[in-house]
């Protein structure tokens, strides 16, 4: 016995009948249902005729709809006047219209999933498609359907301010007004109120400015200073190996120069510090992924798994331009735009802050004033658009050739801050030997643990 696709014929009849009963209800239906959401061909043709009558600003009744059906030579296929009268008589009132619309949508979405799954199945038998591309296509098709299900209605301001008040009350006892994840840097926390869920934060700089080191400092601080040192941090490094990442963190935590850790040239005090630093790091919930050819769908899938296990509070990605595009495209700018948009969607879906590092264009080097501006974001203006916060890291002494004149001063410029102040420079000291950032006003050991 052949299987019949999911549908709700009675609900479809009720929706169309309600429009004939009260033509003003057509605006409620148009916003939610498309022609293809109806399963029965007769209902599709009748609904299409109704839409045409409405678009021409004519009165919706049997005569006008029948005229449109005749004009399109669809009157017979739609069941004729007899069927129009039948569906009208079928509905005594319009009081349950929303419920009937939901039933029609329910059947439509199920059919879309079934049809899409069939397309995915057929595509999987092709020899000219790679597994990663196949998985990406499958994910995108299913995700597109799920987004249709998530379309929301207007929400009255009363409900929204009630939620805002609840958040305010929940945050009122939090120290220093920090409602998000503490970064370990006092002034950055004050500007952002901590790293907030659903935020995409872009940290951008020219190569060798120290952005990877700053990102690892943030990852380390978030893991140590939130949820009683039990916060989970996922670090995706497309440039450095897991060993290199751990070595940099060990240098910071054990207070040993990175080169000495690399060479193994340590004295007895260093070995003692190394042991303490190692034990400290082992107790933190930091996980690494150093896949060099990871795609944005890979990152999303791995983060979604961690989130489902309750093991995700913060994501660090180093760096955005190295992420492999999910779809083959000759236009890198469009590809980067899709990647940045996907990262923002991931942050919203998983409700965690996502920090993505980004390269700046070479245009910075051609100017006398080499301090970055938003226009310097490389390859795509959509990075600026998608980001909630944009931070620029700038070291003036990077351009100083005389080693004795290097100060270690670093400015973190808050170029964009959707929920707070922007156009502000925060001043840090950077010690490359230890991959460590500290504020100029306070040393690391003075910060609250």
pLDDT category, 402, cuts 50, 70, 90? low
pLDDT category, 316, cuts 50, 70, 90? very high
Question: Of the given ranges (310-319, 392-401, 440-449), which has the lowest mean pLDDT?
Answer: 440-449
User: Average pLDDT, stretch 390-402?
Assistant: 77
- DSSP string covering 136-162: HHHHHHHHHHHHHHT------HHHHHH
Question: Of the given ranges (170-174, 294-298, 368-372, 409-413), which has the lowest mean pLDDT?
Answer: 170-174
Sequence-distant (≥ 6) Cβ neighbours of residue 113 within 8 angstroms: 142, 145
pLDDT of residue 443: 46
- Per-residue pLDDT reduced to its tens digit, 76-123: 898 888 888 888 777 777 888 889 998 998 998 899 889 888 888 888
> How many angstroms separate the CA atoms of 348 and 200, rounded?
9
User: Average pLDDT, stretch 195-216?
Assistant: 87
Q: Which two three-digit tokens encode residue 188?
A: 């950055």
Asked whether 94 and 18 are in contact (CB, 8 A), the reply is yes
Percent of the chain topping pLDDT 70: 88
- DSSP string covering 288-346: EE--TT-BHHHHHHHHHHHHHTT--SEEEEE-GGGSBPSS--S-HHHHHHHHHHHHHHH
pLDDT category, 415, cuts 50, 70, 90? confident
Find the angle CA(445)-CA(431)-CA(190) to the nearest 5 degrees: 55
pLDDT of residue 187: 87
Sign of CA dihedral 211, 217, 223, 228: negative
pLDDT of residue 448: 39
Mean pLDDT score across all residues of the chain: 81
Superfamily name with CATH number, domain 179-446: P-loop containing nucleotide triphosphate hydrolases (3.40.50.300)
Regarding the domain delimited by 9-149, which CATH topology (the fold level of the hierarchy) does it fall under? DNAb Helicase; Chain A (1.10.860)
pLDDT of residue 326: 56
pLDDT category, 313, cuts 50, 70, 90? very high
Tell me the H-state helices in 60-179: 62-71, 80-89, 97-124, 131-149, 157-171
Residue 318: pLDDT over 60: yes
Residues with active-site annotation: 239
> How many angstroms separate the CA atoms of 351 and 8, rounded?
35
Residue ranges covered by each domain of the chain: 9-149, 179-446
pLDDT category, 315, cuts 50, 70, 90? very high
pTM for the whole structure = 0.65
Does residue 337 or residue 187 have the better pLDDT? 187
Does residue 414 or residue 156 have the better pLDDT? 414
Max avg pLDDT among 15-24, 325-334, 428-437: 15-24
């Amino acid at each position: 016995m052949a299987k019949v696709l999911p549908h709700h014929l009675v609900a479809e009849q009720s929706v169309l009948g309600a429009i004939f009963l009260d033509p003003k209800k057509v605006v409620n239906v148009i916003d939610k249902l498309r022609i293809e959401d109806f399963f029965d061909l007769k209902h599709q043709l009748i609904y299409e005729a109704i839409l045409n009558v409405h678009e021409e600003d004519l009165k919706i009744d049997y005569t006008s709809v029948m005229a449109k059906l005749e004009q399109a030579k669809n009157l017979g296929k739609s069941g004729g006047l007899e069927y129009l009268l039948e569906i009208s008589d079928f509905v005594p009132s319009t009081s349950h219209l929303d419920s009937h619309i939901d039933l029609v949508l329910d059947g439509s979405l199920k059919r879309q999933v079934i049809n899409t799954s069939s397309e995915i199945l057929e595509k999987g038998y092709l020899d000219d498609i790679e597994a990663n591309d196949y998985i990406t296509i499958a994910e995108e098709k299913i995700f597109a359907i799920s987004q249709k299900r998530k379309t929301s209605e207007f929400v009255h301001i009363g409900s929204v301010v009630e939620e805002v008040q609840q958040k305010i009350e929940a945050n009122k006892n939090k120290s220093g007004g920090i409602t998000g994840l503490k970064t370990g840097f006092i002034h950055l926390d004050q500007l952002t109120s901590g790293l907030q869920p659903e935020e995409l934060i872009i940290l951008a700089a020219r190569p060798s400015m120290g952005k990877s080191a700053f990102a690892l400092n943030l990852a380390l601080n978030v893991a140590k200073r939130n949820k009683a040192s039990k916060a989970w941090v996922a670090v995706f490094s497309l440039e450095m190996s897991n060993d290199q990442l751990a070595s940099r963190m060990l240098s910071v935590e054990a207070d040993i120069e990175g080169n000495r850790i690399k060479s193994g040239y340590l004295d007895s005090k260093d070995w003692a510090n190394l042991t303490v630093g190692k034990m400290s790091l082992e107790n933190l919930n930091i996980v690494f992924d150093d896949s060099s050819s990871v795609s944005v769908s890979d990152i999303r899938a791995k983060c979604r798994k961690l989130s489902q296990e309750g093991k995700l509070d913060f994501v660090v990605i180093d760096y955005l331009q190295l992420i492999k595009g999910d779809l083959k495209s000759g236009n890198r700018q469009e590809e980067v735009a899709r990647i940045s948009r996907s990262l923002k969607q991931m942050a919203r879906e998983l409700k965690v802050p996502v920090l993505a590092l980004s390269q700046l264009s070479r245009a910075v080097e051609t100017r006398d004033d080499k301090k970055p501006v938003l226009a310097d974001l490389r390859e795509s203006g959509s990075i600026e658009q998608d980001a909630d916060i944009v931070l620029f890291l700038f070291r003036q002494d990077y351009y100083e050739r005389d080693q004795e004149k290097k100060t270690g001063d670093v400015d973190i410029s808050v170029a964009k801050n959707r929920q707070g102040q922007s156009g502000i420079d925060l001043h840090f000291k950077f010690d490359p030997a230890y991959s460590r950032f500290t504020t100029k006003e306070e040393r690391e050991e003075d910060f609250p643990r």
